[in-house]
Amino acid sequence: MPSSQAQIAPAEGKLGILIPGLGAVSTTFIAGVEAIRRGLAQPIGSLTQMGTIRLGKRTDKRSPLIKEFLPLADLNDLVFGGWDLYEDDCYQAASHAEVLEASFLEKVKPFLSGIKPMPAVFDQNYVKRLEGKNVKKAANKWELAQQVRADIQRFKKENNCSRLVMIWCGSTEAFRKPGEVHSTVEKFEEGLRQNHPDIAPSMIYAYAAFQERVPYANGAPNLTTDVPALLELSRKNSAPTCGKDFKTGQTLMKTILAPGLKARMLGLSGWFSTNILGNRDGEVLDDPESFKTKEESKLSVLEHILQPELYPDLYKNFYHKVRINYYPPRGDNKEGWDNIDIFGWLGYPMQIKIDFLCRDSILAAPIVLDLVLLLDLAQRTPALKDIGVQEWLSFYFKSPMTNPNLYPEHDLFIQLMKLKNTMRHIRGEEMITHLGLEYYD
Ligand SMILES: NC(=O)c1ccc[n+]([C@@H]2O[C@H](COP(=O)([O-])OP(=O)(O)OC[C@H]3O[C@@H](n4cnc5c(N)ncnc54)[C@H](O)[C@@H]3O)[C@@H](O)[C@H]2O)c1
């Protein structure tokens, strides 16, 4: 047994999953976990549940399941809670979202009906299109943070949890740049007391989580923990964090395809991406301020993968456009089109067209599962718990968080290698470099 294996604390007791935002993604995730626990479905799309990891040489034939290699929480030990500005319980919210069929939802109805949202920290300046009654009241943002801390403590006690993880599945908030108020913990706390307008609701949840030593993952493109004050708190309180923006439909395809084009030194003159979707997320993104946050997240991907500064003849000045259009008839079943103008030998142009009829929440739910399990693992792992940002989880995000002096890695295949090598590293196994010369000695 490798020595570092003993150092990861075991996953004993219940793991509470706390979710701001009980909408399409989170209810699809919760309903799915319950169905999987009852043997009604398979955890398709989840690397932690279905994936394997190769250890040692190819000739060793050691490829255990990841969930057997790492001491992850067992699905039977997960309990769920959350906040929303709408009073719907998880069954009602899932029915409203229309991701899962009514006949399927019936099977998990009693379980879902039992999960009722706690009153939310909400500010319409950050999400213009929503209005709900299940909202906390307080004299200032500091008091709101204390209320969330009390919610966390109560949930932990009532559900007899040994550990908690928080994951933001709330709506995309309006775009804000980091400012002075986000620069240190002291300034941030002063800002909470002064009701500073640049402290978003998502930051209040994250602040409360870190104060309670609870790790926090960010599924939306909002800044949230990606500011110095909250990163400082994350490190100080050994509450790891990761984000931003789940990498699902169109951006997933982009980060699969673009590395392939670059690997073969094929040029790119333009990439036009457009989407139609009709769920509540689409409605929120119909507001230009929320769309701006999403656009920033979606646009950065190609620049980082293609590296035009290193390959000016292939990628300088390529035109990249991303549109999202709210189209109610489609609900959660998004359609994403990509028109890609590439060029090859002697500059001859070619085109690639993608029409991805995807299901947003079906793609996002297994990501939520993996993230909560891996963040919980990070908090139990000496090498990871005090470093704040968990860059090895970039694999799951459109805008991966990194330390400020690093550029993010967007290439899905490099991200996967980073993820698996981190898993090997924390268990004292050898890194896999894919060199392979040793087989020819
Ligand atoms: N589904 C995907 O593929 C995908 C991919 C990347 C990112 N995301 C992001 O994940 C998030 C959730 O997506 P969804 O499809 O479930 O959206 P949704 O609109 O169905 O659910 C979001 C929920 O958050 C609630 N909410 C908003 N602000 C809140 C607050 N301050 N506190 C508590 N609750 C709040 C809303 O009332 C709503 O019920 C969105 O930000 C979306 O952009 C989704």
Q: In this structure, is residue 431 part of a structural domain?
A: no
Ligand 1, pocket-test mutation among 19, 22, 25, 245, most atoms within 8 A of CB: 25
The DSSP element (H or E) to which 248 belongs, if any, is none
Examine residue 441 and state whether it is found in any structural domain, yes or no: no
Same domain, 104 and 187: yes
Helical residues (DSSP H) of 62-173, grouped into ranges: 66-69, 90-97, 102-107, 109-113, 141-158
The residue segments making up the domain with residue 200 are: 3-246+362-426
Q: Model confidence over 381-418: pLDDT tens digits?
A: 999 999 999 999 999 999 999 998 898 999 999 999 99
- Dist. CA 414 → ligand 1 center (Å): 28
- CATH number of the structural domain spanning residue 238: 3.40.50.720
- Considering the domain architecture, whether residues 38 and 85 belong to the same structural domain is answered as yes
**Reported pTM:** 0.94
In a domain, 435, yes or no: no
DSSP label at residue 220: S
Q: Is the pLDDT of residue 300 over 90?
A: no
User: Quick one: 320 and 193 in the same domain?
Assistant: no
- Which burial class, exposed, middle or buried, applies to 296 when counting CB atoms under 10 A from its CB (0-12, 13-18, 19+)? middle
Residues 75 and 176 in one domain: yes
| Atom from ligand 1 closest to the CA of residue 249 | 3
For residues 345 and 372, membership in a common domain is answered with no
Structural domains of the chain, count: 2
Best mutation site among 88, 147, 171, 326 for ligand 1 pocket (most ligand atoms within 8 Å of CB): 171
Q: Are residue 241 and residue 289 in the same domain, yes or no?
A: no
CA 261 / ligand 1 centre spacing (Å): 33
What CATH number does residue 335 fall under?
3.30.360.10
What SS3 class is residue 396? helix
Regarding whether 371 and 299 lie in a shared domain, the answer is no
> 306, 327, 357: which is the final residue of a domain?
357
How far, in Å, are 82, 408, 423 from residue 419 at the CA level? 28, 14, 6
Segment 185-197, tens digit of pLDDT:
999 999 999 999 9
Buried b (16+ CB within 10 A) or exposed e, 65-92: ebbebbbbbebebbbbbbbbbbebbbbb
Are residues 160 and 275 both part of a single domain?
A: no
**Is residue 340 located within the same domain as residue 408?**
no
Instruction: Give the end of a domain, one of 336, 357, 378.
Output: 357
Joined tokens for residue 226: 């990606």
Torsion of CA 329, 334, 335, 338, to 10 degrees: 140
Q: Which residue has its alpha carbon closest to ligand 1 atom 5? A: 246
78-90 mean pLDDT: 98
Residues 342-347: contacts with CB under 8 Å, at least 24 apart: 342/261, 342/266, 342/267, 342/268, 342/269, 343/266, 343/267, 343/268, 343/269, 344/266, 344/267, 347/267
**Of the candidates 306, 333, 357, which is a domain's last residue?**
357
Q: Ligand 1, closest atom to CA 170?
A: 24
The verdict on 190 and 230 lying in the same domain is yes
User: pLDDT digit string (tens) for 241-295?
Assistant: 999 999 998 889 999 999 999 999 999 999 999 989 887 777 887 777 777 777 7
Flag whether 32 is in a domain. yes
